[in-house]
Amino acid sequence: MRFMTLELLTRAGCSACVTARADLERVCADLGLSYTEVDVDTAAEQGNRELRAEYGDRLPVVLLDGVEHSYWEVDEQRLRADLATGRGRM
């Protein structure tokens, strides 16, 4: 499997984000992978307003190799398949 980056975009107080985090943690634990989490509101306060502008209305969002993979929930079956086959870029 080639190296792929996995990122979860969230915001504080988002109950769907809590669920997505748990799902992503389970997938990553099963596959021996890690992911980064970015709060889009904190990023905007630090000058990166693009993330909130692009994704803020459909959080949580999973990015695989910087490309939107799923939103509102982790599409676990598709994510596992894409990670297994190395399909990050769409």
- Residue 77 pLDDT exceeds 90: yes
Q: In what order do the strands lie in the sheet with 61-64?
A: 36-39, 6-10, 61-64, 67-71
Residue 2 confidence class, pLDDT cut points 50, 70, 90:
low
User: Residue 68: what are its φ and ψ, rounded to 5°?
Assistant: -60, 125
Alpha-helix residue ranges (DSSP H) falling in the chain: 15-31, 40-45, 49-55, 76-85
| CATH class of this structure's domain 6-85 | alpha beta
- Residue 3 pLDDT exceeds 70: no
What is the average per-residue pLDDT within 58-83? 95
- Residue 89 pLDDT exceeds 80: no
**Mean pLDDT in the chain?**
91
pTM of the predicted model, to two decimals? 0.89
Domain residue ranges in the chain:
6-85
Better pLDDT: 1 or 47: 47
Residues, the chain, total? Answer: 90
Tokens linked to 80: 């596992």
